[in-house]
Amino acid sequence: MPDHVQTMWSERNRGGTCTREAADQTMHRAPAQQHVRPVAEVGIAPWCRGGPSSKAIARFQDHHLVTRGRCLEGRGQPSEAAAHHDHPLHAPPARWNGMGLAEGQGCFHEVQRTSGSMGKGGKVPHDRGHLLWTSAEGPSNRLLASIDRWVGAVLTDDGIDMPLMGQGDAATSVVLARSEGLVAGTAAVDHLLQIWAPEVRVSWSASDGRQVGNGDEIGRFTGPADVLLAIERSVLNLLGQLSGIATSARTWATVAPGQVACTRKTVYGLLDKWAVHLGGCLTHRLNRQDALMLKENDLVAYGEDEVSRVQAAVASLEPNEDHAFIEIETTSAKQALTAALAWSQHRTSMGDTPLVIMLDNLGPETCKDVAAEMESLGVREHVVLEASGGITFEGLSDWKESGMDVISTSAVNRGVAPLDLTMLMDGV
């Protein structure tokens, strides 16, 4: 093991910690000729707390991914795509174009949003996926930081706590789909290889957002056989879980395009929300600070009864630029109508900012009645109506005439079956 890596490793085993800035400085001093150059160049030390620094993310972006060839357009036409990791064994990376892809040859398919028919239409503020990934910019710093944390945790739990340097002969393995679905997670695997398995190269036949069928090749990995075997399960777990979520989201979005949002009930945090975004559903708030949201437990501090609580809570709301939207949870028709009436008066001092009113566990018929009553009171245009609680895919059609603008459910991403994948070594 190179001396500079051994020193950092020894510090960690003694219980010491390194800061992101210290890691950047230490890794920057690492000899460029060493075999761990990808870690030194990228500067994201997997054993550091707090995720990658801005410098580390920038270096990762500069050395991330080069894609050559054709996209998979549902015609079984594979592309020749290679993730080059700035390693002496690899070809030099092309200029980063914002997606991690060669100019004009990106394979990312971004789902087009369409207005739905449940509510009054128009864009709802629950669409936050652009803060994670866009076709123009690729993965955001926010998503890269989350990927770095989750990949590190997944590998560490599997007994891998430092970058893998192979001792075996070169080999090739292929990831194949065993069922039909939507691919998600290839960018996370690229990051895994970049930091943890720098000798491995991958050629993606189907990248994030692409549909595959049973038997289709998704990616081909080349590198030391022992490294391929070491990362096999982690790669399949990431790809399978995220692809399963994206596939589920695509199914929901087909029935109610642009109107189904996930919640903060997740397994992989922002990675779940990224997969939901790839599948065509809405992310809702990305974390607790992303939106000002008063839920049932928050309302307890505002009064003795359900009406006074809602009135006082709405009067206290002051949106600011840090909040994507403001929302209040209601558990009865009376609370929902009170919130809408209170907001129609309170909002006069705050411009046209809408209030999102969540109707929790009220059912489609009650929600429809609430929306109609708001129309008759002249306050419907000032609010965005969100239904939540007990919503299943089997009952999704019941919400089409409910008058809701968006429905939120954890069923989009929790408890879904992973996409069935396998990784086979050449010769198997």
With 0.85 as the threshold, say if the pTM is over it. no
pLDDT reading at 37 higher than 50: no
pLDDT at 119: 58
pLDDT reading at 68 higher than 80: no
Taking the C-alpha atoms of residue 140 and residue 146, their distance in angstroms, rounded to an integer, is: 10
Residue 182, CB-side half-sphere exposure with 13 Å CA sphere: 25
Tokens 């009930």 belong to 265
pLDDT reading at 25 higher than 60: no
**Residue ranges of the alpha helices (H) in 63-159?**
141-157
pLDDT at 30: 32
Q: What is the mean pLDDT of residues 223-245?
A: 96
Model confidence at 73, pLDDT cuts 50, 70, 90, reads: very low
- Percent pLDDT > 70 in the chain is 70
pLDDT at 51: 41
pLDDT at 412: 95
Taking the C-alpha atoms of residue 384 and residue 341, their distance in angstroms, rounded to an integer, is: 13
pLDDT reading at 350 higher than 90: no
Q: What is the mean pLDDT of residues 220-248?
A: 96
Q: When comparing pLDDT for 365 and 88, which is higher?
A: 365
- Percent pLDDT > 90 in the chain is 48
Same fold, 37-111+137-249+417-425 and 254-412: no
Alpha-carbon dihedral of residues 175, 176, 180, 185, nearest 10 degrees? Answer: 0
pLDDT tens string 87-122? 222 222 222 222 222 222 223 333 344 334 455 555
How would CATH label the architecture of 37-111+137-249+417-425? Alpha-Beta Complex (3.90)
Model confidence at 21, pLDDT cuts 50, 70, 90, reads: very low
Taking the C-alpha atoms of residue 45 and residue 50, their distance in angstroms, rounded to an integer, is: 10
Tokens of 115: 């207005």
Query: What's domain 254-412's superfamily in CATH?
Result: Aldolase class I (3.20.20.70)
Q: What is the mean pLDDT of residues 28-55?
A: 33
pLDDT reading at 248 higher than 90: yes
**Could you tell me the residue ranges of all domains in the chain?**
37-111+137-249+417-425, 254-412
pLDDT reading at 309 higher than 80: yes
In terms of average pLDDT, the best of 296-305, 323-332, 372-381 is 372-381
